[in-house]
Amino acid sequence: MAAVRPTTRTYLDHNATAPLRPAAREAVLAAMEASGNPSSVHAEGQAARRIVEDARAQVARLAGAAAPRAVTFVSGGTEAANTALNPRFGVGQKEAPLDRLIVGAGEHSCVLSGHRFPDSAVEIAPFGADGRIDLDWLEGACRRPGRILLALQGANNETGVIQPVGEAAALVHAAGGYVFCDAVQLAGRADCDIAALGADALALSAHKMGGPKGAGALAAASVGFNLGEPLIRGGGQERGVRAGTENVAAIAGFGAAARACATGTADEAARLIVLRDCLADAVRDAAPYAVRC
């Protein structure tokens, strides 16, 4: 007899893309009625600009950014990482560029492959058996010559391991360096406050937190923080950090998702902890030799 397939499916791939939140869907549809370009000065353009700026304020709140102006909209986490990871990150106009990029061994490929440092300037920070960065190694690396940019993921998209970003940032800052955090997997599930993380800038992606695909953000710890050389040049949008007409509809959905995450993360984290523990118990029952990190 042929196996009977279930009539419904349970979607468990939220780390790749979370289901679209109803509030985000409504925001996207409403924003699609705004016909103006947000850079235009006429009424239609300014209506679109209000949508973008309202969303910017919501994303800034979620990320704990210094102010909405410290948030730059991009197309997603990949573009955020590619934009930030350059030798001019955090560096003043009259300062020399950064010398070294340290990348966590478990970083997403957009960090491992998307940076703009010469290969000779890149070091891979080893992880321990628990999947976390080796802080003793990092402390030694910080004592070597050259100013550092550390790229350390807040939470891994495959293992779920949460990195000690704050402890790592303290070591790097003490050595005069900077920290970029890929916080894509933290948003909506754990604290992604930039001050708590100790990062100088972090990346967010709308579709990881129930927003639409095609919108992301770079949030900086301070207004005017230099993100370095722009990746996309053109009309000067996003204060010259990222050229190109803003994706108003996707940004509107991003703002709605960020607003929901900002008010509901604690409850969602508690719910996920229960589910995680149930799964871990079931795995141990089925495979007593399994080790939980």
HEC assignment per residue over 145-170: CCCEEEECCCECCCCCCECCHHHHHH
| DSSP 8-class letter at 289 | T
Q: Residue 264: its pLDDT value, please?
A: 79
pLDDT at 229: 92
The reported pLDDT for the residue numbered 42 is 96
Distance from the first to the final alpha carbon of the chain: 41
**238 conformational bin, left if phi > 0, alpha if psi -120 to 50, beta if neither:** left
Prediction pTM value: 0.92
Q: Which of 16-28 are b and which e, b meaning 16 or more Cβ less than 10 Å from the residue's Cβ?
A: ebbebbebbbebb
Q: Note the pLDDT of residue 4.
A: 65
Q: Tell me, what's the pLDDT at 293?
A: 66
Contact yes or no for 134/113 (Cβ under 8 A): no
The label of the residue with tokens 């000065």 reads: 41
Helix axis angle for 165-174 and 135-142, nearest 10°, is 20
List of domains in the chain: 69-244 (3.40.640.10)
Per-residue pLDDT of the chain (293 residues; tens, 9 = 90+): 566 676 788 898 999 999 999 999 999 999 999 999 999 999 999 999 999 999 999 999 999 999 999 999 999 999 999 999 999 999 988 899 999 999 999 999 999 999 999 999 999 999 999 999 999 999 999 999 999 999 999 999 998 899 999 999 999 999 999 999 999 999 999 999 999 999 999 999 999 999 999 999 999 999 999 999 999 999 999 999 999 999 999 999 999 999 999 887 888 888 888 988 998 899 999 998 887 76
Does residue 121 sit in helix, strand or coil?
helix
CA distance 205 to 20: 13
Strands 148-151 and 100-104, bridge-based pairing: parallel
> What is the strand order of the sheet 148-151 is part of?
71-74, 216-220, 201-205, 178-182, 148-151, 100-104, 122-125
Give the pLDDT score at 276: 86
Q: Torsion angle of alpha carbons 280, 284, 290, 292, nearest 10°? A: 30
